[in-house]
Structures are given as structure tokens and as C-alpha cells.
A and B are shown apart, each in its own frame.
Chain A
Amino acid sequence: MTRTATASLATDVGAYRTSLRAYLRNGDALDRWRGKHYASTEHRIADHAALMEHLYKDGWNRYGWPAEVGGLDGDERHRAVLYDELSAAGLPVPDPHLMLETLGPPVVHFAPDLAARYLPEYLRGENWWGQGFSEPEAGSDLAGLRCRARREGDHYVLSGQKLWTSHGATASRFVCLVRTGAPESRHRGLSMIMVDADAPSVSVRPIALASGYQDLAEVFFDDVVVPTDRLIGEEGQGWAVAMYLLQWERAMYAWLCSAVALRRFRELLGQVAGTSLPDGAATRIGECYGDIIALRARSAQTVRRLAAGETVGPEASVDKVLLATAEISVHDLARDLLGTDFVFGAGADTGDWRADWWFSRSTTILGGSAEVQRTILADHVLGLPKEPRA
């Protein structure tokens, strides 16, 4: 594509959508990613990375990212359109894009040099990152985290542990929230830093979900040396970086999920067509479709706000609650419509539904649990009297 053509797609989201749609319809080369089943998380993410490489080669997943980090310019709407059109074309949204949506924007904003160095290879599917926030003693109460980064000259020495790291077993870097202040400094003494997974004294232990898929991991740091230029934001600014990141984690991730959920909903209807359905199936199907479309309606508004440069505040918790509602809804619908086949069926399609059902249970937990989201809304949006502190 010529430079002029690229520039015009970057400024015209509608034209980008039309061109992308035509590209996705015409490419037989993309068929290898349609209707695929994977034996393991490692196989899946590697194959998805190959899809990123393919999309990168033709430019399509570079829109929405600045040129300085390997992108072709444009804004959040381009990324939203990519996820939507991939899903409409029966293709997966490559797994590494999940963490890219969460970790990419804060790195671009707070550490442009790191972004310029490492985001191009991420977009090319060569490697991807994990998010190191939670710890054994710091889940919902994130500000209590203890993983420590001690400053020694021009580097930090990391010691501690992270838990529930998505794609942790295959990620080549971790973006970690660590304590640089005093042990009791809560959210004031935190910093965000990028650590290489292959650095000496980093060890990763995959965690198998109940489905058998190793979607999560725990990561141990045993005096790991990290250069100070790996800081994202200033030392002590970690909480602000994390709050900035939440705008995308809650909004872009919600949109991405709505696109995938709609594809899975369509696939489910195709799978159950002609089978005998339980009483009330039509109503359930209509409700579930409403859950997905309402999520789209809400997160589209938020994506447009992000694209316009607005700051999205605590109201993003509404997006997160709706995201979890839609995810739970479509997977419970699958479980109920597939019936005994869900429990006993040996087919690969059914196996995917079971694995996805387990993963869907994480949507009310990760990135701030359902309870945390409701508390944020109660405190900061409804302005209710606060709960007493223990």
C-alpha cells in the first residue's frame, strides 16, 4: 500500500473498515486460522502470533498505534474496528492483543523510548508481554503488594513474586507493579517496570486452569537485575500508571470481548441449529444477544471518548460489569443449550466451549473483581457513604 493510501486510512476509520473487510473476505491465506482447535495454550498463542505477523505484514494491525512504535497512526477506533472485523470474518482476535490493549497505551504514554524499542516486535507477533500486578497477598487489595525493587546505582534489584499473570508462561517480558517505597507506603510507594522473562533469576511456573489450559502463571524474581531505563513513568508513579492503564483495560478490553462474544454467539446458534432446545431457549437467546449488544453500545461510547483524548474515570467500571455480564451470559447459554453434550460430549467444538466456559468465570475476577467494580461505582459515581475501614 502506498504511503498516501496508508495516511488516508489512518484519518478515515470508515475507509479503514471497508478496506479491512475486503481484505479479510478475500484472503484464502487466512483460512488456516478459521475454526481452529488447539491442544494447549502454548499452541494457540503461537498460532495467534503467526496471525499477527500476517496482519502486520499487510499493515492491518498497525493502525491505531503511533508511527514511532511501529504503527501506522490512527486511534483507538482503528483497533476496535480490527477486533470487530476479525470477529465478523470468523477469525480469532490474536491472544497477544489482549495484553497489548492493556499494557501498550501506558508504555506509549509514560515510556515512549521503551515503546519504540519493543512495541514493533510485539505488533509483528514476535513476542508479547505479561502483566505482573497480583500477588499471593495482594489480589483485590492491590496497594498491599510486596514485590520489591531496590535501587542500586543504575539498576533495580527485584525480589518477590507475581501471581495470575495472563500468558505468563509464554510472555517474553513482564510489566510489573513493584514496591520501591517503604513496606507500608501502600499505593504511594509503587513503580511500574518492565522485566525480561529470560533475565537471570526469573522463574515462571504455569498454572493450569480447571480446563487444563495453562492460561495463567506465577512468576518469581530472585534478585533480578533490571536497568533503570526500564521504568514506566517515574519511580513512585506506579499507581498513577496503573490507573491510566485501567482506562484501556476496562474499555478496550470490553469492546474486544464484545466482538469475540458476538462471534461465539453466532457459532453457538450454528451449532445448536436443528437440535431440540430446552424450554425458554428463545428467550434466553434473545436476552444473551441483548447483553452482548448493550455491552457494544456502552463500550463503543467509551472507545470514542478514549479516541477523542478524554480521560475515562471510575464510570469505566460500568463497562467492566457489562463485559463480565455478557461473557458469563454467552457461556452459560452455551452450557445450557448444549445440555448433556456440554458435560459429556467428546467433540472439539464442545471441548472449546468447556474451556471457554472456565475462562469466562475469570471475567468477574481479573482486572478488579465484580465486587471491586461495584464498590468503585458506589464510592465514586453514586457517592454513597463509605464502608468503614477495618
Chain B
Amino acid sequence: MTSTTMDAATAELLTGSLRNLFAGSAGRAVGPALETLGWSEVVAEDPAGATTLLFTEHGRALASSHALDAVLLAELDQVLPAGNGTRAVLYPHPGDGDQPSTVDGPVRGLLLAGLESVDEVVVPVRESGSVALLTADPGSLPTEPVAGFDAGSGWLTVTGWQPSGTTVPAAKAWERAVAAGRRALAAEIAGVCQAALGLAVAHTSARVQYGRPIASFQAVRHRLAEGHVAINDSASMLDAAWAAAGSADGGAWAAALAKLRAGRAQAEVMRHCVQVLGAMGLTSESAMHRYVTRASALDALLGGHRALSEATGRTLLAGAPADPVVEV
């Protein structure tokens, strides 16, 4: 079964709306703009199709917003007491893999956008071998802009926050939230990859050397074809992950694989795209570097592809069945 029920015409229409939305916003206003679009109804009708479209376009536009928080909160809100206004999520710091900090603190993590219009931050913590949730007053969190590879992400790091308050046990909810987050991130990475490949196709089709477009040289053509294969590979895996999303653990195993394949795809796509752009690929004059750095940042969020490969391999070596995941 295919997990989305959306027909091609609807998908095209919604894609157009989303592109306008991201073109018109500086990123922060994505939430209210989606509300105006009636997005929650689209999601309710077709979670797989709507989420994939939204995050693909989010990625393509290199947007920064709390959109992913809404995906995780759809699971986390179910175990938290009724909220006070708008919530955001603190993600595990990529330096800790996909593991939240311990409840003893100090806590570190990532926020995907500023906290100006946020009333409460949901903080996952590890407590006696399981994940629990805390809520934090945004003003109490020591934040600073993320530096590093993707300086344009708009993300914030939180370091040295000392937890306070009562924890809410959330092992299952967190597992489901991470699975949902990984599916959304796989789509977002795909969007970044599609944009990068589109740029590389356009560049190599226009750039002439030896009297012909460089995209007519087999070495270049095959790199671009491999990028296309990698993007389609991860799109199919994401579709399979959505088909598994209804299971009790939220389809965690398949969602991890979807994130793994997306992370692997971005490594492959970016390697080829940077190469075929020639020196332009490593300058700030071409947009390519922004796709490279954003894709690597998204890969690191909720478990990078190498870490997920290793974790999957360890689980299999420990005797877990090699689940077929996909059926016709």
C-alpha cells in the first residue's frame, strides 16, 4: 500500500501554496502562515502526504522554523498536562547522538528557531534508563545561536540548563515522537537534496567546456544519475516508514531506516553536486554550500546516518530479527 492518499493535482496545488509561503516568510512566521492555509486539516486528512510535502518544501526553501516541533508535540502533548500557550521542543544535542541529557543536568540541546513567541519549552531528559519530559520557561534557558558548519540555520544551542520541576514519564511517547520527527526530517533532507540536484543539473546543462555542456560528459551524467537514485531510494524508504507508522511503537524501526537512508542520500548527493559545480560549488557565490551545510545539520538531528547504521547493526548482531519491513 502507498501511504499517501493524495492525488497528483492536489499535491501540485499544495506544493505551490507551500512554495509561496516559504518564499514570503523569513521562516519564523511559518506556524501562523500554515494556520491561515488550514494546514492542520490537510494533515488530518493525509498525514503522510501532507507531512512529506510540508517538510520537503521546508527543506527546499532552507527554512528555519518550529514546524518540526509540532510533529513531535502531536505525540508529546498526549502525556503532558494541558499546555500554557505555544510549546517548543528542545532536541537532544547531536553531540549526544539521539540521547537526551540526564535529569541530573546540566542539560544541553538544540532549538530549531527563536523563542520569541514560545510560552513553554518541552525538555526530554533521561531518568533511570528511560525518557521523561520537563517543561521549561523559555526565559530560563541559556541559549546562543548555533555556530559551525551551517551558520544560517537559525538554530539555537542550549547549554548548562539545570533541570527543575516534576518529570512526566514519556518513554513510549518519546519513541513515537522521535519516529515521527525522523519521518519529517527524511522529507526535509529530500527537499534539500532535490534543490541541490536541480541546481547541479541546471549548472552543468548550461556550463560549456570543450565546446559542449558539461552535462553531456558521461562522468558528470553518471554522478547526477547516482544523486537521483539516492533521492528516490530514500523517498521509497520514507513511504515504507509511513506505512509502518500506525504500529504501537510509532513505526520506530522503519522511521530510523528512513532517516538513515535520507542521511546517506544527502552525503551522496552533496558529494556529486559539489564536484560537478567545479570551483563554484565551494564558494559563497553559489547557493550550493547552503544545501551542503543544511543537509549535514539535518542529518545530525535525531541521529545521523552513520550512528543509525551502527546502532542498527548492533541491534541485529545482538539477535534482533532482520525484519523485512516492507511487504507488497
Contact = CB atoms under 8 A, between A and B. Distances in A.
B313 A284 contact: yes
Given A297-B236, A385-B215, A290 B312 contact: yes
B325 A296 contact: yes
Nearest to B319: A273
A321 B221 CA distance: 15
Interface residues of B, number: 46
B261 A84 contact: no
A101 to B, nearest CB: 14
Given A282-B317, A322-B229, A384 B221 contact: yes
B134 to A, nearest CB: 32
Interface string A58-87: 000000000000000000010011001000
B287 to A, nearest CB: 19
A298 B236 contact: yes
Interface size class of A (residues with CB under 8 A): 35 or more
B221 A266 contact: no
A378 interface: yes
B93 interface: no
Interface in A313-370: 315, 318, 321-322
B310 A286 contact: yes
Contacts of B216: 384-388
Contacts of A371: 218, 222
Given A81-B328, A382-B201, A269 B261 contact: no
A204 B217 CA distance: 40
A266 B322 CA distance: 7
A301 interface: yes
A289 B233 contact: no
A123 interface: no
B213 interface: yes
A286 B311 contact: yes
Given A266-B322, A284-B313, A374 B226 contact: yes
A243 interface: no
Contacts of B176: none
A245 B74 CA distance: 46
The secondary-structure label for the interface of chain B is helix
A385 B210 CA distance: 14
Contacts of A381: 225, 228
B239 A290 contact: no
Nearest to B208: A385
The secondary-structure label for the interface of chain A is helix
Contact of B205 (A289, A304, A321, A385): A385
Contact of B213 (A77, A266, A373, A385): A385
Contacts of A322: 229, 233
B313 A293 contact: no
Contacts of B237: 293-294, 297-298
A283 B236 CA distance: 22
B24 to A, nearest CB: 30
Contacts of A265: 322
Given A374-B225, A374-B226, A378-B222, A384 B325 contact: no
A266 B317 CA distance: 10
A255 interface: yes
B19 interface: no
Nearest to B254: A293
Nearest to B311: A286
A377 interface: yes
A192 B328 CA distance: 31
Contact of B316 (A17, A286, A377, A384): A286
A369 to B, nearest CB: 11
A288 B260 CA distance: 12
Given A262-B322, A384-B205, A384-B215, A290 B222 contact: no
Contacts of B308: 286
Interface in B84-132: none
A387 B220 CA distance: 11
A13 B237 CA distance: 22
B267 to A, nearest CB: 12
25 contacts: A81-B327, A88-B324, A255-B328, A266-B322, A269-B322, A273-B319, A282-B313, A283-B313, A285-B313, A286-B313, A286-B314, A289-B316, A290-B261, A293-B237, A293-B326, A296-B325, A300-B327, A301-B239, A318-B228, A318-B232, A321-B226, A322-B233, A374-B221, A384-B216, A385-B212
Which 6 A-B residue pairings sit nearest by Cβ, starting from the closest?
Answer: A286-B313, A282-B313, A286-B312, A286-B309, A285-B313, A378-B221
